[in-house]
Amino acid sequence: MSRLDVAALREEFPILAAEVHGAPLVYLDNAATTQKPQAVIDRVARYYTEENANVHRAVHALAERATDAYEHARATVARFFNAAHPHEIVFVRGTTEAINLVADSFGGLHVHAGDEVLVSVMEHHSNIVPWQVLCARAGANLRVVSMTDEGELRASDVADALTARTRIVSIAHVSNVLGSVNPVRDIVRLAHERGAAVIVDGAQAAGHLPVDVQALGCDFYAASGHKMFGPTGIGVLYGRAEHLESMPPYQSGGGMVGSVSFEGTSYAPPPYRFEAGTPDVAGAVGLAAAVAFLERIDPAEIEAHEADLCAHAAAALGTVRGLRLVGTAPRRIGVLSFVLEGVHPHDVATMLDRIGVAIRAGHHCCQPLMDRLALPGTARASIAFYNTREEIDTFVAALAGVREFFA
């Protein structure tokens, strides 16, 4: 059992007290987006109430306050991911934009005709399509490393897929369908031995597992604020300083320049080089509030609580007749995909919604993975630290009802 005071933590998330269709909300769609604590909501409101101005541009007091808040947010996020320096943190819209930035800028620099980019079969479309676009443009090849039937990505399979032409390996830290925790540190070591850079899609890891980019040794790490209890519209790209310094801009305009003339323009140093235009200042300070909230909790306790819920849910789901769990890798966290014999995943999700249980159904932006699993889609329950065993029991009891209804 976990040592988290979950009841007290839940009180800090106003939406968790909501009712849906007359029943208490059971929110199990955390892989899609997480709920926000009052501290984040208040911080965003305070920013607009007391600090709102454009950043890095004016000398007046509000502009200084906004700039301080924005740069403080960068330092907070850098500490959370254990980046060596705040300037290794670029604020972006989310994981999708972070990967697009790396594919366009770093990929444009290093991936040429005949080169290879390596992804795994379990990647989200956001970690596939930007590489397809890059490879099509460069005349390079996108290669795919498979997984076991249980949903385990083995470092040895990655090693086998690496070649002298592999320039970039881009891998999810945690799968948003299978919950598998991938052996990122081993993959980084193997890729570096072959001279390839590694980008980690951390969308499903940040806020669930401790993330230390220096310990992982990765070249880039991408995460979304809204999946780690922060606002939507803000995300993080960590990039090693030596990479960011060598990379050309991704977008251009105000804020990312040194000086501009019609004869030529020089660019600002990173991270500003990659933050063209007015950034999402409110989102950044809100994300920093989410990080401060998370830092109050021992990450090992979050991990232990979610692992306990995951094991409890997996065992309970095993008692539902006709239910098959999809994704049973040895190292996994609380993302539970399943199929219920004779019932379409969307019908499962719709019936659960009627009694207040929010889960997700579909391909989860992982169509190549669905092809590998020979499934059109799955139903998916995904856990955060504020979920309880009672909620899991409500969810599983409801599922048994769905199964009986359709039988």
> Which positions are catalytic?
365
Q: By C-beta, is 141 or 232 nearer to ligand PLP?
A: 232
Q: How far is the CB of 74 from ligand PLP (least distance, A)?
A: 19
Q: Which CB, 96 or 394, lies closer to ligand PLP? A: 96
Buried b (16+ CB within 10 A) or exposed e, 175-203: bbbbbbbbbbeebbebbeeeebbbbbbbb
Question: Counting contacts by CB under 6 A, is residue 100 touching ligand PLP?
Answer: no
CA distance 107 to 137: 10
Q: Interface with ligand PLP includes 345 (CB under 6 A)?
A: no
d(C-alpha 393, C-alpha 296), whole Å: 28
Which residue lies nearer to ligand PLP by CB, 239 or 267? 239
201 contributes a contact to ligand PLP by CB under 6 A: yes
Structure token pair of residue 26: 């059971």
Q: Using CB under 6 A, which of 78, 172, 191, 197 touches ligand PLP?
A: 172
Encoding tokens for residue 246? 């060598």
Structure tokens at 394: 């409500």
The correct pick among 176, 337, 378, 382 for binding ligand PLP (CB under 6 A) is: 176
Please report, for residues 189, 348, 398, 403, the alpha-carbon distance to residue 205 in angstroms, rounded to integers and kept in the order given: 20, 26, 28, 32
Whole-number minimum distance, CB 248 to ligand PLP, in Å? 22
Instruction: Indicate which single residue of 204, 337, 387, 394 sits in contact with ligand PLP (rule: CB under 6 A).
Output: 204
Element (H, E) at 166: strand 166-172
Q: Output the CA–CA distances (angstroms, integers) from residue 272 to 159, 219, 224, 254, 283, in the order listed.
A: 35, 18, 19, 10, 17
CB-based contact 182:120 (threshold 8 Å): yes
Span from 93-101, 130-138, 241-249, 308-316 in contact with ligand PLP (CB under 6 A) = 93-101
Distance (Å, whole) CA 124 – CA 274? 23
Residues 6+ apart with CB under 8 A from 59: none
Query: Minimum distance between the CB of residue 296 and ligand PLP, rounded to whole angstroms?
Result: 24
Residue type, 46: R
Q: How far apart are CA 133 and CA 112, in angstroms?
A: 13
Which one of 55, 128, 203, 340 is in contact with ligand PLP (CB under 6 A)? Answer: 203
270 near ligand PLP, rule: CB under 6 A: no
Residue 96 makes contact with ligand PLP by CB under 6 A: yes
| Distance in Å, CB of 178 to ligand PLP, minimum | 10
Amino acid at 8: A
Write out the binding residues for ligand PLP, residues 11-70 only, by CB under 6 A.
31
Question: Which CB, 90 or 203, lies closer to ligand PLP?
Answer: 203
Which amino acid belongs to residue 328? T
Question: CB of residue 31 vs ligand PLP: minimum separation in angstroms?
Answer: 6
| 127 binds ligand PLP, rule: CB under 6 A | yes
Q: List the one residue from 43, 76, 78, 94 that touches ligand PLP (CB under 6 A).
A: 94
C-alpha 121 chain-centroid distance? 17
Phi, psi (rounded to 5 degrees) for 230: -105, -175
Based on its alpha-carbon atoms, the radius of gyration of the chain, rounded to whole angstroms, reads 22
Q: Position of tokens 């991990």?
A: 303
Q: Locate tokens 């979950």: which residue?
A: 6
95 near ligand PLP, judged by CB under 6 A: yes
What tokens does 159 get?
A: 């090693």
Nearest approach, Cβ of 184 to ligand PLP (angstroms)? 13
Stretch that binds ligand PLP, among 124-132, 190-198, 261-269, 275-283 (CB under 6 A): 124-132
Nearer to ligand PLP, 227 or 312 (CB): 227
Site for ligand PLP (CB under 6 A): how many residues? 13
Tokens at residue 151, please?
């949903």
Least distance (Å) from ligand PLP to the CB of residue 127?
Answer: 6
**In the complex, which residues of this chain contact ligand PLP (CB under 6 A)?**
31, 94-96, 124, 126-127, 172, 176, 201, 203-204, 224
